[in-house]
Amino acid sequence: MTLINYIVTSLLGFIKGLGNSGIFLFQSLFRLPVRPKEAMRLYVRQVYSVGVMSLIIIVVSGAFIGMVLALQGFSILTSYGSETAVGQLLALTLLRELAPVVTGLLFAGRAGSALTAEIGLMKTTEQLSSYEMMGIDPLRRVIAPRLLAGITCMPILSIIFAAVGIWAGMLVSVEWLGVYSGSFWGSMQQAVQFDRDVINGLIKALVFAVAVVWIAVYQGYECQPTSEGIGRATTRTVVLSSLAILALDFLLTAAMFGDF
């Protein structure tokens, strides 16, 4: 009986949280700053801190993952004599799965946690209240630019991740392991379909971006205004967004590639 009670209350709590954060997302996105020039300036600043600052970690991880994939793929494929298929393997795994998922996870750790901490700190130091008392809506001034910047930056980062990964994998397999470059690109271009692989990968990245930024911003906005509360909210952002990415990835993969 108590177990059922517990499940019901936690389920209701979950639905309530989802509803609250949904209203929050809606209000933030559809109340953009009034002056377009100011809005642009706020947005560019956020793209800088969310996107440009995450670029290095994305490029470096992309390069290493591409190189590891090439090495592993080569060592397996070479025993079937099909080492030219390493290009195909590299491009498909990166475009369909690894680029959006790994970028999402890194983005949650790098940009998501920073967003939560920043907004949490603004709440703790009464800056959000201060905007409100000034008659400026903090949702449109503080939250909206961050949401939009995050949602636009992550797909870009995911594309960069895939491109760098493929390029680094090409270096390893063609320059180092001696795969014939014509067959490398040939097998890749034969297997990769622009709409099925590149565009679907982009859609995944976009969905993950919405999930991560939404969670990050909401956790910051709703955190307990103490230093302990900020710490907890930051941890929760990383955990929740990682889980959300992996679960959403399964759903999206099933929807996109599931019809055999």
User: Is 166 near other proteins (CB under 8 A)?
Assistant: yes
Q: From the CB of 186, what's the least distance to other proteins, in Å?
A: 9
Q: From the CB of 49, what's the least distance to other proteins, in Å?
A: 8
Residues numbered 83-102 forming contacts with other proteins, rule: CB under 8 A: 84-85, 91, 95
User: Is 129 near other proteins (CB under 8 A)?
Assistant: yes
Q: From the CB of 15, what's the least distance to other proteins, in Å?
A: 22
With contact defined as beta carbons under 8 Å apart, do 184 and 166 qualify? no
- Taking CB under 8 A as the criterion, the residue among 8, 134, 239, 255 binding other proteins is 134
User: Is 56 near other proteins (CB under 8 A)?
Assistant: no
Q: From the CB of 69, what's the least distance to other proteins, in Å?
A: 14
Instruction: Lay out the site mask for other proteins across 7-46 (x = CB under 8 A, - = otherwise).
Output: -------------------------------x--x--xx-
217 vs 240, which CB is nearer to other proteins?
A: 217
Q: Which stretch binds other proteins (CB under 8 A): 6-14, 190-198, 209-217, 244-252?
A: 190-198
Q: From the CB of 227, what's the least distance to other proteins, in Å?
A: 13
| C-alpha to C-alpha distance for 155 and 204, rounded to whole angstroms | 8
Q: What is the 3-state secondary structure (H, E, C) of the chain?
A: CHHHHHHHHHHHHHHHHHHHHHHHHHHHHCCCCCCHHHHHHHHHHHHHHHCHHHHHHHHHHHHHHHHHHHHHHHHHHHHHCCHHHHHHHHHHHHHHHHHHHHHHHHHHHHHHHHHHHHHHHHHHCCHHHHHHHCCCCHHHHHHHHHHHHHHHHHHHHHHHHHHHHHHHHHHHHHHHCCCCHHHHHHHHHHHCCHHHHHHHHHHHHHHHHHHHHHHHHHHHHCCCCCHHHHHHHHHHHHHHHHHHHHHHHHHHHHHHHCCC
- Taking CB under 8 A as the criterion, the residue among 4, 5, 194, 259 binding other proteins is 194
Residues numbered 221-240 forming contacts with other proteins, rule: CB under 8 A: none
At which residue do the structure tokens 């307990």 appear?
Answer: 224
Nearest to 103 by CA among 186, 169, 159: 159
Q: From the CB of 70, what's the least distance to other proteins, in Å?
A: 14
User: Which residues make up the interface to other proteins (CB under 8 A)?
Assistant: 38, 41, 44-45, 47-48, 51-52, 55, 80-82, 84-85, 91, 95, 121-122, 125-127, 129-130, 132-137, 156-157, 159-160, 162-164, 166-167, 185, 187-194, 197-198
